[in-house]
A and B are shown apart, each in its own frame.
Chain A
Amino acid sequence: MKQAKQLVMVTTLLMMVFGLAFSFLTVQTVSAAESKNLIYDEANLLSEQEKSELNGLANEYGAERQTDFIIFTSNNEEHKNEELLTEDFYDERAPGYDKAHGNTVILTLDMYNRKMYLAGFYKGEEYIDNGRAVKITAKIAPDVTDGNYRLAFEKYLDLSYEYMGIKPGVNPDNILFKTWFQLAASLAIGGIVVGVMAYRSGGRVTVNRATYEDSGSSSVIDRQDRYIRTTVTKQKIERNNNNGGGGGGGGGTTRGGHSHSGSSRSF
Chain B
Amino acid sequence: MPVIEYKCPNCGSGMVFDSTTGSLSCPSCGRQDNIEQIPDPLKKQVFTENEVKQYHCNSCGADIVTEPETSATTCSFCGAAVVLSDRLTGDLAPVKVIPFSISKEQAKQAFKKWCRNGLLTPSGFMSADRIQNITGMYVPFWLYELHNKIEVHGRGTKVRTYTQGDYHYTETQHFDIYRKIRLNYVNLPIDASEKMKDELMDKLEPFPYNELKEFKTPYLAGYIAEKYSYTDEELYPRAKEKTRSYIDSYIASTVSGYNSVSYTDKQIDTTLKNADYVLLPVWMVYYDFNRSQYTFAMNGQTGKVVGKPPISKAKVAGWFAGVSAVSLLSLKLVSWMMGGGFL
Contact = CB atoms under 8 A, between A and B. Distances in A.
A10 B169 contact: no
Contacts of B181: 218-221
A27 B174 CA distance: 57
Interface in A176-209: 176-177, 182-183, 185-187, 189-191, 193-194, 197-198, 201-209
Nearest to B305: A203
A214 interface: yes
A243 interface: no
A73 B305 CA distance: 74
Contacts of B325: 13, 16-17, 20, 186
Contact of A237 (B163, B175, B183): B163
Given A2-B123, A166-B339, A234-B170, A186 B331 contact: yes
Given A7-B314, A10-B317, A235-B170, A213 B328 contact: no
A23 B332 CA distance: 12
Most buried by A among B174, B178, B245, B343: B343
B331 A234 contact: no
B25 interface: no
Given A17-B321, A202-B307, A223 B183 contact: no
Given A13-B322, A223-B180, A166 B341 contact: yes
Interface string B182-209: 1111111000000000000011111000
A219 B148 CA distance: 11
B182 A217 contact: yes
B318 A186 contact: no
19 contacts: A6-B315, A10-B314, A10-B318, A17-B321, A24-B343, A167-B340, A186-B327, A186-B328, A186-B331, A190-B324, A190-B327, A193-B323, A194-B316, A201-B120, A209-B249, A214-B184, A218-B182, A234-B167, A234-B169
B317 A222 contact: no
B279 to A, nearest CB: 19
B338 interface: yes
B335 A227 contact: no
* Interface SS majority for chain A: mixed
B11 interface: no
Contact of B324 (A10, A168, A186): A186
Contacts of B316: 194, 198
B207 to A, nearest CB: 10
A193 to B, nearest CB: 5
B179 interface: yes
Contacts of B321: 10, 13-14, 16-17, 190
Contacts, number: 222
B56 interface: no
Given A224-B178, A237-B166, A202 B202 contact: no
A150 B180 CA distance: 72
Interface of B: 118-121, 123, 156, 163, 166-188, 202-206, 243, 245-247, 249-250, 254, 304-309, 311, 314-325, 327-329, 331-332, 334-335, 338-341, 343
Given A10-B314, A207-B206, A198 B120 contact: yes
Contacts of B123: 2
Contacts of A212: 185-188, 243, 246
Contacts of A211: 205-206
A225 interface: yes
A193 B320 CA distance: 8
Interface residues of A, number: 74
Contacts of A17: 321, 324-325, 328
A79 interface: no
Contact of B306 (A186, A203, A233, A239): A203
Contacts of B204: 203
Contacts of B166: 236-237, 239
Contacts of B328: 17, 20-21, 182-183, 186
Given A6-B314, A206-B206, A213-B183, A222 B340 contact: no
Across the A-B interface, the 4 shortest Cβ-Cβ residue pairs: A167-B339, A203-B306, A165-B341, A190-B324
Nearest to A193: B323
B337 to A, nearest CB: 10
Given A3-B314, A174-B338, A176-B334, A201 B308 contact: yes
Nearest to B310: A201
A225 B206 CA distance: 36
